[in-house]
Amino acid sequence: MRHIAIIGSGPAGYYTAEAALKKYGDDVTIDIIDRMPFPFGLIRTGVAPDHQSIKAVARRFEQTALGNNVHFAGNVSVGNDVSIAELQELYDAVILATGAPNDRPLEVEGSDLPGVVGSAAFVGWYNGHPDHRDLELPVDAKSVAIIGNGNVALDVARILAKTANEFSGSDIVGHAFDNLTNSNVEKITLLGRRGPHQIAMTPKELGELGQLERAQPLVDAGDFPDESEDALLEPGMRKSITHLRDFLARAEELSDKPVKIYFDFFAMPVAIEGNGKVEKLIVEKTNLDKDMRSLGTGERYELDCSMVISCIGYRTPPIEGVPYEHGRGRFANDEGRILPGLYCVGWARRGPTGTIGTNKPDGFAIIEAVADDIGSGANKEGRKGLDRLLKKRGVEAVSFRDWKKIEEAEIANARDGAPREKFTDVAEMIAARQS
């Protein structure tokens, strides 16, 4: 029998568990440990609340979670309640699937002003993550600047722009729904330090921006290369650019929509200014060098805004005793191997890129590496030892069965048209599992 501990219950964690079950059948026990009392990580707290079809992958993970040899231990913080060294004593393999929940810092002057938030915090706030439920936001902002040209920036712009009607069927949490649908927002500016051909936005998500009830996406024709150059792009990118060109073509048709979403390309934020709070963003125009890197031109402009949301990527938080690559914000690893018996997978291994599905081959590959390394296992104690440690320390682990009770309560609490109303407080979740 082999005993495997997976730290983190997001897509990387569950695809890895699925791979281990496929590889070993009944000859393995898998404990999935999570700091939160709920499973599925970014499926719950990262994927946009109006993208319910993407969240449906949780049903697949649930099949794995309900497998005989799979155990969920939520509400257990590795590094605090139990150390990596202790887990390594108990398990043949410890696999870190901890994702990248911290914002990559926006290193410009003024980024500590109230009103500047990172996307991890902002997305966590509207998705009901307990760490971010109390985020202070200038909710009366008329003008919001969003830094970054990736899918997270798009999610944030769309969520800021939607009407109450457009949130129907979503599981946006009550506090965010109330705030956003009563907001004063009139102008949302997406700032990309490079050009339309360098965006990291996918076509489906970009297309949605052109279908909003009250918002119009606006691009500047002068930022685009000649249309003939679109043919050189790979097909996905070409579709994305087609959407951007479509926004240009439909400018007149969409002009009566009151909320404007501007794409400011070749625009690099250099400072944030304001008297005790954000009042403006100072932006430098850029050119691209021969390697497509952005270079400041010295030409600057000011963007009046009361909120700045930086969507420029994420970092994996370090864990004591685990080698870490500071420059890239992830664990130091060789194809997922960190130290003997210690592995990483998903964003904790390769950084915050790719879709949910990218984690599947990742999970299967790491289990092959584990299999090569651990053979038939080394008579470790596994779950029994973990349970004993947690009991001794008074840690109340949440099982998958407990989670299903919490979920039932969330479904029962849903407002009309919503699939659930999430608890945003850990103590409330713990209480709900006992009801």
Q: What is the contact surface with ligand NAP in residues (CB under 6 A)?
A: 147-153, 155, 192-194, 198, 200, 202, 205, 311-313, 352-355
Minimum CB separation from ligand NAP for residue 213, in Å? 20
Minimum CB separation from ligand NAP for residue 250, in Å? 22
Residue 292, helix vs strand vs coil: coil
- Closer of 217 and 377 to ligand NAP (Cβ): 217
Q: DSSP label at 88?
A: H
- Closer of 124 and 341 to ligand NAP (Cβ): 124
Return the HEC string of 328-371.
CCEECCECCEEECCEEECCHHHHCCCCCHHHHHHHHHHHHHHHH
User: What number of CA atoms fall less than 13 Å from residue 285's CA on the CB side?
Assistant: 6
- Closer of 199 and 370 to ligand NAP (Cβ): 199
- Closer of 308 and 367 to ligand NAP (Cβ): 308
User: What number of CA atoms fall less than 13 Å from residue 15's CA on the CB side?
Assistant: 23
* Dist CA 4 CA 366 (whole Å): 12
* Dist CA 349 CA 336 (whole Å): 6
Listed in sequence order, the DSSP H helices in 162-260 are: 174-181, 203-209, 235-249
* Dist CA 317 CA 134 (whole Å): 21
What are the tokens at 298?
Answer: 């010295």
* Dist CA 81 CA 390 (whole Å): 7
Minimum CB separation from ligand NAP for residue 237, in Å? 12
- Closer of 19 and 153 to ligand NAP (Cβ): 153
Minimum CB separation from ligand NAP for residue 6, in Å? 21
User: CB nearest ligand NAP: which residue?
Assistant: 150
Minimum CB separation from ligand NAP for residue 108, in Å? 8
Minimum CB separation from ligand NAP for residue 121, in Å? 13
- Closer of 341 and 352 to ligand NAP (Cβ): 352
Minimum CB separation from ligand NAP for residue 382, in Å? 33
User: What number of CA atoms fall less than 13 Å from residue 22's CA on the CB side?
Assistant: 14
- Closer of 198 and 399 to ligand NAP (Cβ): 198
- Closer of 163 and 198 to ligand NAP (Cβ): 198
Using the CB atoms, write b or e for 148-157: b if 16+ within 10 Å: bbbbbbbbbb
- Whose structure tokens read 């794409």? 263
- Closer of 147 and 374 to ligand NAP (Cβ): 147
CA dihedral of residues 158, 159, 162, 163 (deg, nearest 10) = 180
What are the tokens at 220?
Answer: 């500047």
